[in-house]
Amino acid sequence: MDRQPPLDLVNVALARQRYGDAGRHWLDAMWQADDLADAVVADVYSGGSATAAVRAALDGGIETVDDAPASLRALFATLDVEPEWLDHDRLDRAADALIRHTAALGIVLGAASLVRGAGNTIAGKPLAVTGRYVSQPAIRSVEVGEWLRQVLTPGGMRRGGAGFAYTVRVRVIHAHVRLMLWRSGEWDESAWGVPIPQPYMAFTMAEFGHIAIDAMEKLGVRFSDRELDDIYHLWRYVGRVVGMSEELNPACEADHVRIEELYRLTSPG
């Protein structure tokens, strides 16, 4: 990619030097959002509700949506086909392992994990501009908790599961926020990259994955190696459904750790 990294990022040269191709891809991906979901929102924004169209396709299948635009069909062509690596038994085992430690998970998400990225002024701008963490923090927290509950329900990430549907709706919300920010004239793309870019989506997976696991260990929670592998498998699939690219979507603990390091290294603020 020929574009230079967003101007507000820090330690750009060090990221390339220390992480090589992974560092270069991290910086390039600051210009990458979610083309499939963004196209759906842009397509039906004038003629109807993208949220309603996606909900109908989730409930009845894409073939039940009258006059579905090509963008919506393209999105569901990926959502309706599971990757070869997916193992639903592993997703269910991961859900069981995390549900057993619901109290500890809730503590670390609120006190350690989801606040880890708060110092990044770019990552926080969409929430700041939309006012979700300023005017509606309680509602936002409840929404995250309900999404997590559905994802961690055994079977929740199957095609007809509530966790799958909730995750797709989150994906569409992200696309709506991008469109709103682009149209607002308040988003400085040269300084910040695209709103909700692939690297920051990857970091969100790390917040629910390795960062949470590491904090839970400090509270005395111990997962077996198999449970850890299953948990990372779960977040890999959640990442895919929420719009992560295969190139940046973390698949294992090492991927999560590298994402955390690159996030800390390059984050302004």
Sign of the four-CA dihedral 87, 113, 191, 261: negative
Residue 143 has pLDDT above 90, yes or no: no
**165 confidence band (pLDDT: 50, 70, 90):** very high
Longest alpha-carbon distance in the chain: 54
pLDDT in tens, 61-100: 999 998 899 999 999 999 999 999 999 999 999 999 999 9
Residue 137 has pLDDT above 90, yes or no: no
pLDDT in tens, 106-120: 999 988 888 877 779
Kindly report the pTM of this predicted structure. 0.95
| The predicted structure's pLDDT at residue 116 | 76
Helix axes 210-218, 253-266, angle to 10 degrees: 100
Residue 223 has pLDDT above 70, yes or no: yes
Q: Give start and end residues of each alpha helix (H) in 85-161.
A: 88-99, 102-108, 125-130, 137-151
Name all contacts of 147-153 with Cβ < 8 Å and 24+ positions apart: 148/109, 148/208, 151/95, 151/234, 151/238, 152/95, 152/98, 152/99, 153/95
Amino acid residing at 60: G
Residue 132 has pLDDT above 70, yes or no: no
pLDDT in tens, 240-263: 999 999 999 999 999 999 999 999
State the chain's mean pLDDT as an integer. 92
